[in-house]
Every structure is written in C-alpha cells, then in structure tokens.
Homo-oligomer: A and B are copies of this chain.
Amino acid sequence: MSSSSTPEVGATFVNIIETAPETQQQVIDILKEGTERVISRMPGFISVTLYAARDGRHVINLATWEHPEDVRNVQTDPESAAFAKRTAQIAEATPGLYTVVGRYR
C-alpha cells in the first residue's frame, strides 16, 4: 500500500443526493443528461463520476475541475441551475467543495 499527501491540484465538487428507490433512476437520468449537455462542456471540466447506492437511497455526483472558480461558475450558470432545480424537485441535494485528505492503493 502507498499513501499520498501530495498537495491537491484543481477542485473536487461532491453532491450527496438523498433519493428514494422509486426516484433514484430518475435522478441518475437527470444527472447524466446535465453532465452530457452542460457540465462537461464548461470551462475547467476534468471529470464526473456518478455513484448509485444499491439500496436506492443515495446518488453521489463526484466532479473534478481545474480551479475552484470553475465550480462557482457552474453554480451560477443558468443552464446548470435548471438541471439542479429538476433534481431538487424530486430529491434532497447537499453539494459542496471537498479536499482529498487521503489516498491509498
């Protein structure tokens, strides 16, 4: 095993979304559409990974960006806000900036 404490480059944005088993797939579909049509085309985009809890209770959207300003730019973008609003209508989202504090492999 090796661990790394190299200073992080870029910015990590995570959205923890609480879903119900009946709404989880709908949330996933909105996130996929938003990522493909809007998020991935914005300045500084590096990656998005979408994780679905097998019990249907959460979806996690983990995105990396070149700079923290890129995340702020997304959050004030009207097209991006429209997708966030669609998610908020059917699920509870807790978005935020994160720091990678440990990496082991």
Given contacts A104-B35, A104-B40, A99 and B51 within 8 Å (CB-CB): yes
Report yes or no: A50 in contact with B94, Cβ–Cβ below 8 A: no
Query: Do B14 and A53 touch across chains, with their CB atoms under 8 A apart?
Result: yes
Number of copies: 2
- Contact between A36 and B3, CB atoms less than 8 A apart: yes
Query: Quick check: A50 and B96 within 8 Å, CB to CB?
Result: no
Q: Is A55 on the interface with B (CB-CB < 8 A)?
A: yes
Q: How far is the CB of A56 from chain B (nearest CB, A)?
A: 10
A16 close to chain B: CB less than 8 A: yes
Q: How large is the interface on A (under 10, 10 to 19, 20 to 34, 35 or more residues)?
A: 35 or more
**Is B58 touching A16 in the complex (CB atoms < 8 A)?**
yes
Contact of A104 among B48, B52, B59 (CB under 8 A): B48
Which chain A residues have a beta carbon within 8 Å of chain B's beta carbons? 1, 3, 12, 14, 16, 28, 31-32, 35-36, 40-41, 45-55, 57-60, 62, 94, 96-105
Could you list some 11 contacts between A and B, CB below 8 A? A1-B36, A1-B40, A1-B45, A36-B104, A48-B104, A49-B102, A51-B98, A53-B97, A55-B96, A58-B94, A60-B98
